[in-house]
Amino acid sequence: MIPSGRRAHSSYPRWWVILAIWTAWGLLLSTQVAVYVRLGGKPMPFLTALRLNMPGALVWAIFTPAAIWLGRRYPPFEGPHWPRGVAVSLVASAAAVFLEVLLVIVNQRWIRGPMPSDDPLLVAELRNFVWWFPLDGWLYWAIVASDYGVAHYRRLRERELRASQLEAQLSEARLQALKMQLQPHFLFNALHTIGQLIRRKRYSSRDRAAQHGGSAPDQRPADQRQPAPHRPGRWGGARFRPREPGKPRRRPHQHQRAFAAAVR
C-alpha cells in the first residue's frame, strides 16, 4: 500500500501528454458524431462536429491535474479514510461534468446561433447534466484509477530495484568475508590455535596418567629409595629409562631434539 503522503509528492504527467490524450478523445467523439449524423440522413461537416465536441474534451484536459491531485490527497481506493475519498471523488466528478455540459451548451448556441426552441440556459444545463453525468462521470474515475495504477507500478519497481541492490551488497559482503578468511594472516592464526589445542590435550593426558597411575608415590627418603625396574619404551629403546640418583642427566641425541622442536 502506498501512503497518501508518498503519492502526493509523486511527479505529475507532462502537460503535452495530457493534451495529446484528450485531443485524441475529442477527435474520436467528433468522428463518432459525424458518422452518426450522416447515417441519420443529415450529413454534418467534420469540422463542425469537431468544433462542437473538442471544447468538452479540452475541459477534461484542464481538469486532469486537479483530478490527480484530489485522488492523491483523498485516495478513494485505499487507506482508512477511503469513504471520504469516494465522496470527494463523486463531488469532483459531478463538478467536472457540470462544467463540461455548460461549455458544450454555450459553444453550440454560439456556433449555430440562438433558436426560438432553446430552453433557458439553467434548465438546459440541468437537463443535460442528468443525462451526461452517468456517461461522462466515469472519465474522472478513469483519471484517478490510471494515476493510482502508475503509482503502484513505480512503487513495485522501486521495491524490486532496492531488493536487487541489497542482494548484490549481501553477495559482495560474503565474498569479502571469504577473501578475509583466505588471507595468510588468518590462516596462520587458525593453524596456531589448532596446535595449541593439540598440545593442551596431550599435556592434560600425561598429567592424568601420572596422577591416576597404578603405583603410589614412594614416601621413603631419597637415600633409601630403590630404582624402579626398567620398562622398555614403545619402540624398545631406553628413552623412558629412569635416571639413577646422583647420575648426571644425559644429553638427548640430535634426532630427539629435532622431534621435540617439531612438537613445540
- Cell 511527479, residue? 11
Instruction: List, in order, residues 6 or more apart from 113 with CB less than 8 Å away.
Output: none
Query: Do 75 and 4 contact (CB within 8 A), yes or no?
Result: yes
What is the DSSP code (8-state) at residue 213?
-
Predicted confidence at residue 116, as pLDDT, reads 80
Burial track 89-123 (b if 16+ CB lie within 10 A, e otherwise): beebbeebbbebbbebbebeeeeeeeeeeeeeeee
* Type of residue numbered 26: G
* Type of residue numbered 137: G
Predicted confidence at residue 27, as pLDDT, reads 94
Instruction: List, in order, residues 6 or more apart from 129 with CB less than 8 Å away.
Output: 97, 98, 101
* Type of residue numbered 220: R
* Type of residue numbered 103: L
Query: Do 33 and 10 contact (CB within 8 A), yes or no?
Result: no
Cα–Cα distance between 46 and 49 in angstroms, integer?
5
Cα–Cα distance between 8 and 240 in angstroms, integer?
89
Residue 52 has a CB neighbour count (10 Å cut-off) of 20
Domain parsing of the chain, residue ranges: 11-151
pLDDT by 10s per residue, the chain, length 264: 444 444 444 677 888 999 999 999 999 999 998 898 888 888 888 999 999 899 999 999 999 999 999 999 999 988 888 999 999 999 999 999 999 999 999 998 888 887 887 888 889 889 999 999 988 999 999 999 999 999 889 889 999 999 999 999 998 888 887 777 666 666 667 777 887 777 776 656 555 555 544 444 555 555 655 555 555 544 444 444 555 665 555 555 555 555 555 555
